[in-house]
Structure 1
Amino acid sequence: MNDLLIEKTSGWRGTRDVWIQAAYATLLESGIDAVKVMPLSERLGLSRTSFYGHFTDRNDLLGALISLWQSKNTGNLIKRSEDYADSITEAILNVFDLWLLPDLFDSRLEFAVRNWAHSDMRLADKLEDADRLRVSALQAMFERFGFDTLHANVRANTVYQTQIGYISMKKDGPTDPLEPRLKRMRYYAEIFAGQPVSDAEAARFFSRHPVDTA
Structure 2
Amino acid sequence: MPQKPILHRDDPMAEPLVGNIKVTREDWLNVAMDVLISDGVEQVKVLALAERMGVSRSSFYWYFKSRQDLLDALLKTWEQTNTAGLVGQAGTSAETITAAVLNVWRCSANPELFNTALDFAVRDWARRSGPVRTVLDQSDARRVEALTQMFQRYDFPEVEAVARAKALYYMQLGYDMAGLNESGSYRLGMTPEYLKVFTGQEPQPRELEEFAEYSGRFWDV
Query: Normalized against structure 1, the TM-score is what?
Result: 0.92
Q: Is the 8 Å Cα contact of residues 111 and 167 (structure 1) preserved in structure 2?
A: no
Hey, what does 2:98 align to over in structure 1? 89
Equivalenced residue count is 207
What do residues 28-83 of structure 1 show as CA deviations (whole Å, max 9, x unaligned)? 11111110001000000111110011100000111111011101100011110011
- For 1:60 and 1:179, locate their aligned partners in 2 and report how far apart those are by CA, in whole Å: 42
Is 1:197 equivalent to 2:203 in the alignment? yes
The separation in 2 between residues aligned to 1:176 and 1:57, in whole angstroms, is 42
Among 45, 57, 62, which residue is 1:48 paired with?
Answer: 57
| Identity value in percent | 35
Partner of 2:108: 99
Deviation at 1:212, TM superposition (A): 5.5
Structure 1 residue runs of 5 or longer lacking an equivalent are none
Structure-2 change in CA distance of 1:212 and 1:77 (3 Å): closer
Q: Distance in 2 between matches of 1:175 and 1:56?
A: 42
- Structure 2 unaligned residues grouped into runs of 5+: 8-15
Contact between 1:190 and 1:197, CA under 8 Å: does it hold in 2?
A: yes
Pairing partner for 1:74 from 80, 83, 98: 83
User: Which of these residues, 6, 29, 37, is aligned with residue 4 of structure 1?
Assistant: 6
Report the residue type matching 1:191 in the other structure: V
Instruction: Look up the equivalent residue of 2:71 and give its one-letter code.
Output: L
2:170 alignment partner in structure 1: 161
State the superposition RMSD in angstroms: 1.5
Contact 1:96 1:185 (8 Å CA) reproduced: no
Quick one: which of 141, 144, 153 aligns to 1:135?
A: 144
Letter in 2 for 1:186: P
Is 1:144 the equivalent of 2:153? yes
Task: Return the alpha-carbon distance in structure 1 between the equivalents of residues 186 and 176 of structure 2.
Answer: 17
Q: Which residue of 1 aligns with 2:10?
A: none
Aligned to 1:123: 132
Separation in structure 2 between the aligned mates of residue 189 and residue 81 of structure 1, nearest angstrom: 15
Secondary structure of 1:55 counterpart: coil
CA distance in 2, matches of 1:73, 1:57: 25
